[in-house]
Structure 1
Amino acid sequence: MARLRRTRWQLTALITAITATCLIILGLVAATIDGRSRDKTVDDSLDRVTTALWHGVNLKPEEDVIDTDQLKKYDVANGDMGVLILTANSDGKWVDTYDHLRSWMPSEESTRALADDVFQTDQTLFRNDVDSVGRPIRLAARSLTFEDTEVRAAIIVGTNPGARDKDRALLLWGLVVGGLVLVIASACAAHVLSGRSLRQAVVMVDEQERFLGDAAHELRTPLATLRLVSEPRRRTPHEVERALLDARALGDRMERIVAGLLARARMQAGVTKMERVQLLLDQLAESVVEEFHGKNIEVRTEPSVVVGDPALLSLAVRNLVENAITHGAVNPNAPVEVYVAQGRVSVRDHGAGLNPQVSSNPFQRGVTSGRGSGIGLALVAWIADLHGGSASMEPAAGGGTIASIALPPPPLSS
């Protein structure tokens, strides 16, 4: 049982680890895809603003300077993105011509280096940088020239440095918290499911322990008797023959005990299934009684057809007869009476009667009046229930006990 409990916890840990690993991988993939998607979305937004400014920025009439008054009227130049327009003076140095949210933009050194770089390409240039207080920012830059002039300008647009990081942090926290919840739920579900999956194994272990315990109880008495019978001492030929017969009888009894216990254990564990054949119960009972050589047993039978397992029903009848012989020993001259009719086998002894200690449930495992272990009658009740029948025990008129097993009639053939 301890090994099964350890196995259950190991299965729980394994399933939880697999789930956690899968969630971590999925979380990393989701975070990577989200990051790339957010970067693309930001780049698209920056490109749209940069393109709009590139088409909308003009020079003042008859002057070679950017019309900043016109820029102040553009929504794209005064939105939630930082905007910086640089122009080159006569010395070729870059100067700020227009800015919006300048604190969100990089330092002058970085923006002028970006302006130099953008004139080396004829397309929008994207770059990561930091703003004036060291926060990360995404930039887009594009060169701007005017026909028939020597004016050169660079348009630089930067994102809000906090909005994107806040949304991303929220997503990451969601992935972490959601992943932890799923891992905990997976661990609980794994523990429950592993317990259910091992339930049959627990039942089999219980049945194994029960089988070993029952076998130990049942075999203790015949083994002790066999030891006494086979004890080395001087014997007459008649005594030797008698000892051999007793030893053989004890061996047969132990074989029947083990076979019955093993059959029950295998069926309850689902290893084998009960055989269902049509048989004559009266002939089966007579063949069982013939095994008890030298015993005072009277048999009365009527033709009785039932459907069941011959081996199990033989075991049940045999246990009833052995129980009657054991408890009827107080009156050795009185016979054990076996009566079979209408799917019912009744066995009467002429012993001391039903013990009050066992009268409430004589077929319960472990219940005994002092002789035996109470397992034989428990097997009888189990076999009867397996066949859809019942087992009973009641006081007999005039003394003694009647133990019976009743089986249902066979189904009518179509």
Structure 2
Amino acid sequence: MISTSDARPAVARLRRTRWQLTALITAITAVCLIILGLVAATIDARSRSTAVDDSLDRVASGIWEAVTLQEDAKTLDVNQIKDGDLANGETAVVILTTANGDMKWQEAFGHLRSWLPNDNGLASLADDTFQDRGVIYRDDIDSVGRPVRLEAKALTFKDLPDVQTVIIAGTNPGAHDRGRALLLWGLVAGGLALVAASAGVAHLLSGRSIKQAVVMVDEQERFLGDAAHELRTPLTTLRLVSEPRERTEAEVERALTDARALGDRMERIVAGLLARARMQAGVTTMERIQLLLDQLTEAMIEEFPDKNIVLHAEPSVVVGDPTLLSLAVRNLLENAITHGAVNPSEPVEVHVAQGRVSVRDYGAGLTPPLSSNPFARGVTSGRGSGIGLALVAWIAELHDGTATMEPAAGGGTIAAITLPPPPLSHP
């Protein structure tokens, strides 16, 4: 995860990008869910409305089929309807009729009358229905002010054309909307849960993705810091060698030789740092070849011709990357020279044997900051940047070896890198 305490500008920008990605993905998810919810609610509303109309039509059509005339063929016979299930269920029913040219509607049958509009409303609906000679669906208000869905169906008799009959069925759509309310609440609750889950997953995945970018930023800053550390000494020396002053021909030649040597040294430093950065980025892999560790150490000591360094070496064959191992040995030497400078009369002692390079100085020894973890990045006794020994530990670990630092008997410290023996070769 990205540390919230990291105030570096690059990391802060990545953190903002993470929140922006989270907000964007969450917004897209929310918009999609809202659209899907609206579509689902609309389809459900139409379906439920159709279901209400179908239930009304089932009742009205059933009663329409059951209405007959009495034996006198002048009045309606509703006895069969009174005993039927359709006219005694949860759907309100009223049958209005006129007779003998009287246009005033009279109620021939009523069931759940309070669920239907008042007399004037029913009469107006009956008039409209009979004028259309068909079926009318209408939303209205019942006698106590509740919403009601109505279906009115006209009925005529060939043998008695003066008798006009309208069958009206009604129901409260709110009773059918309970399931719709549950659906809407389910859509809202489910949508919020999905949006929250989407936000959480987006934040987690964006954090994992950006974490790699943070690692790259860390590696870039580490590379720049290491390069500044490693190049500081040769650049300072090069400045001293090349500063303008009167020189003899021999001094000029010596200055040019020293400048070339410093240039070669900086080239090796940059190559080592680039190799480290490329390996950590996964661009390349470490080179593994057999080499003589004693000769490599001797070559590194030659880069310090003016220093009092004593070498005790035995032939030692290891397998590793010569560029990185050279960088590790040189850092051990520079560390010993730096800390041993407080006692210039004593040499820096180097021992090479059995895959191990140890460098002993006669300095002040391990200070409290160094005693706990001397190879931690940034840990220093007050001199240097604490990067050199961190590179040594990284190179040792890369070669499946170890880096150690311990107090030396008689004062000073012994810093060492130990590499595993090369694999046995089979004939």
Answer yes or no: same fold by TM over 0.5. yes
Which string of whole-angstrom CA distances, capped at 9 and with x for unpartnered residues, describes residues 212-242 of structure 1? 3333344344433433332222222233233
CA distance in 2, matches of 1:148, 1:39: 37
One-letter amino acid of the structure 2 residue matched with residue 112 of structure 1: A
Aligned to 1:294: 305
Alignment partner of 2:74 out of 64, 77, 84 = 64
For 2:303, what is the secondary structure of its paired residue? Answer: coil
CA distance in 2, matches of 1:231, 1:99: 118
For 2:76, what is the secondary structure of its paired residue? Answer: coil
- Alignment TM-score, normalising by the size of structure 1: 0.85
> Is this contact kept in 2: 1:353–1:395, CA < 8 A?
no
1:108 maps onto 2:114 in alignment: no
> Is this contact kept in 1: 2:52–2:173, CA < 8 A?
no
Which string of whole-angstrom CA distances, capped at 9 and with x for unpartnered residues, describes residues 343-366 of structure 1? x23133453363334344332222
One-letter amino acid of the structure 1 residue matched with residue 288 of structure 2: V
Aligned to 1:182: 194
One-letter amino acid of the structure 1 residue matched with residue 21 of structure 2: L
Aligned to 1:145: 156
Query: How far does residue 14 in structure 1 lie from its aligned partner after superposition?
Result: 0.2
Query: How far does residue 20 in structure 1 lie from its aligned partner after superposition?
Result: 0.4
Alignment partner of 2:352 out of 322, 331, 339 = 339
CA distance in 1, matches of 2:258, 2:381: 25
* Stretches of structure 2 lacking an aligned partner (at least 5 in a row): 1-10
Query: How many correspondences in the alignment?
Result: 406
> Is this contact kept in 1: 2:146–2:172, CA < 8 A?
no
For 1:207, what is the secondary structure of its paired residue? Answer: helix
> Is this contact kept in 2: 1:126–1:138, CA < 8 A?
no
> Is this contact kept in 2: 1:325–1:336, CA < 8 A?
no
- Alignment TM-score, normalising by the size of structure 2: 0.83
Name the % identity.
61
Query: How far does residue 70 in structure 1 lie from its aligned partner after superposition?
Result: 3.7
For 1:98, what is the secondary structure of its paired residue? Answer: strand
Aligned to 1:201: 213
1:378 maps onto 2:422 in alignment: no
For 1:143, what is the secondary structure of its paired residue? Answer: strand
> Is this contact kept in 2: 1:83–1:101, CA < 8 A?
yes
1:163-174 equivalence runs, <5 A: 163-174=175-186
Aligned to 1:275: 286
1:2-401 equivalence runs, <5 A: 2-91=12-101, 93=103, 95=105, 96-106=107-117, 107-119=121-133, 121=134, 125-132=135-142, 135-146=146-157, 148-150=159-161, 151-268=163-280, 270-282=281-293, 285=296, 288-289=299-300, 292=303, 294=305, 296=309, 298=311, 300-306=313-319, 308-329=320-341, 330-331=343-344, 334=347, 336-341=349-354, 344-352=355-363, 354-357=365-368, 358-396=370-408, 401=413
Change (3 A) 1:257 1:366: farther
For 2:154, what is the secondary structure of its paired residue? Answer: strand
CA distance in 1, matches of 2:168, 2:424: 96
Query: How far does residue 166 in structure 1 lie from its aligned partner after superposition?
Result: 4.1
> Is this contact kept in 2: 1:219–1:254, CA < 8 A?
yes
CA distance in 2, matches of 1:242, 1:144: 125
> Is this contact kept in 2: 1:144–1:155, CA < 8 A?
yes
CA distance in 2, matches of 1:94, 1:315: 112
* Stretches of structure 1 lacking an aligned partner (at least 5 in a row): none
Query: How far does residue 169 in structure 1 lie from its aligned partner after superposition?
Result: 3.3
For 1:162, what is the secondary structure of its paired residue? Answer: helix
For 1:244, what is the secondary structure of its paired residue? Answer: helix
One-letter amino acid of the structure 1 residue matched with residue 96 of structure 2: L
CA distance in 1, matches of 2:43, 2:415: 78
CA distance in 2, matches of 1:277, 1:260: 14
For 1:235, what is the secondary structure of its paired residue? Answer: coil
Query: How far does residue 48 in structure 1 lie from its aligned partner after superposition?
Result: 1.7
CA RMSD of superposed structures (Å):
3.1
CA distance in 2, matches of 1:93, 1:40: 33
One-letter amino acid of the structure 1 residue matched with residue 419 of structure 2: L
> Is this contact kept in 2: 1:82–1:102, CA < 8 A?
yes
After TM superposition, the runs of 4+ consecutive aligned structure 1 residues lying more than 6 A away are none
